[in-house]
A and B are shown apart, each in its own frame.
Chain A
């Protein structure tokens, strides 16, 4: 989930526009990491050294590693390490934005360092995801909206982002959560959960977005908004909440009760206290996640 939250950070810093970020996310599947981006990420080369080697590559038919070795920017052992390294997915996003001309290598270097520092990730090593890193990412993500979020809610949001990746696609960026009391609906479905927590979960989107969302979820092509499209939205929410209740049972021995998902008919909802909305940008449009969660007394 590093790439998704790094995208959100870039938007908050106004380092890129939502349009450029969406375009970069769309290109991600076809992007391969460059050695220079990785060398910068590992702290072996500075942005200006990477720029210089890239410039030299336009003058001579040599590989990046060969030139970097000749210029003494890398040791052989470091080059070997880079060639064998696993690639954190957020680096690809950063590199794509550099390739598109939205960021310079220097911008990316500064943004990577500041993001890791703000998320307190530097001590964790290289940014590969672990449970604790994901928790830090989420905690930091919610801090941007000035809110504290409970352990159960962190677990809920962690799972829903993972389920978006799993069932809809990883090409999204969540925007900063917004706390609100009133919400205008489009195609909105709701599911309530009770037990150790009392939770009302909703997803909402326009009809066009719902067609694309449902097509991805059900692996079917939908041309018109019909009962199957609506059922896809309800199914996704029900599946996610079902898996959440399994996790709550396994990890905390807490049994939750799920109400069947229903469509919200009201054009405007008066939301429960403490409700927040997270817009999630996909290339096909924006999906809104709405959640209110309280621990039972």
Chain B
């Protein structure tokens, strides 16, 4: 994996969940720059503003949930690399996320090795 500085947007209403995800990612990508959002609307706004290389979205968030945020981001850039990170991993939610444009899913409680595997497969060429 290239160690070129990348920008990753993490959107979760939990400051703890954002920190835990950042802690895992930074071990793999020490030079990464993080952009954070605490709700789905903020995620769309920050995406528009910063155009990050990758986006991690929780599903259950205030104002706009992760599925709505995925749709909003895809309207801005239909090649956006969006990963859903959620405990609500029902088949219906996964279907909605994929239909909205999400590329991958990580089930909470988060397994760091799964995050690393997702980073490698999605950022391998960047």
Contact = CB atoms under 8 A, between A and B. Distances in A.
A258 B16 contact: no
A231 B87 contact: no
Contacts of A242: 60, 86-89, 108
Given A242-B108, A246-B89, A249-B90, A235 B17 contact: yes
Interface in A209-257: 218, 227-228, 231-232, 234-235, 238-239, 241-243, 245-246, 249-250, 255
Interface residues of A, number: 21
Contact of B60 (A218, A238, A243, A246): A238
A221 to B, nearest CB: 14
Q: Chain B: interface secondary structure?
A: loop
Contacts of A235: 14, 16-17
Contacts of B92: 249, 255
Contacts of B15: 227-228, 231
Nearest to A248: B90
Nearest to A167: B109
A232 B16 CA distance: 7
Given A167-B109, A260-B62, A246 B16 contact: no
Contacts of A238: 14, 60, 87
A159 to B, nearest CB: 12
A228 B14 CA distance: 8
Given A167-B109, A227-B15, A260-B61, A218 B86 contact: no
A190 to B, nearest CB: 13
Contact of B108 (A239, A249, A259): A239
A297 to B, nearest CB: 22
Task: Tell me which of B60, B86, B89, B92 has the highest count of chain A C-beta atoms within 10 A of its own C-beta.
Answer: B60
Interface string A14-38: 0000000000000000000000000
A227 B38 CA distance: 13
A255 B90 contact: yes
Contacts of A255: 90, 92
A241 B13 CA distance: 16
B4 interface: no
A243 B107 CA distance: 10
Interface string A47-87: 00000000000000000000000000000000000000000
B19 interface: yes
A148 B103 CA distance: 44
A249 B13 CA distance: 24
Nearest to B88: A242
Contacts of A231: 14-17
Given A228-B19, A239-B108, A260-B61, A245 B13 contact: no
Given A231-B16, A238-B14, A241-B87, 15 more contacts: A218-B20, A228-B15, A231-B15, A239-B87, A239-B108, A239-B109, A242-B86, A242-B88, A245-B88, A246-B87, A249-B90, A249-B91, A249-B92, A258-B60, A260-B13
13 contacts: A227-B15, A228-B15, A228-B19, A231-B16, A239-B108, A239-B109, A241-B87, A242-B86, A245-B88, A245-B90, A246-B89, A249-B90, A255-B90
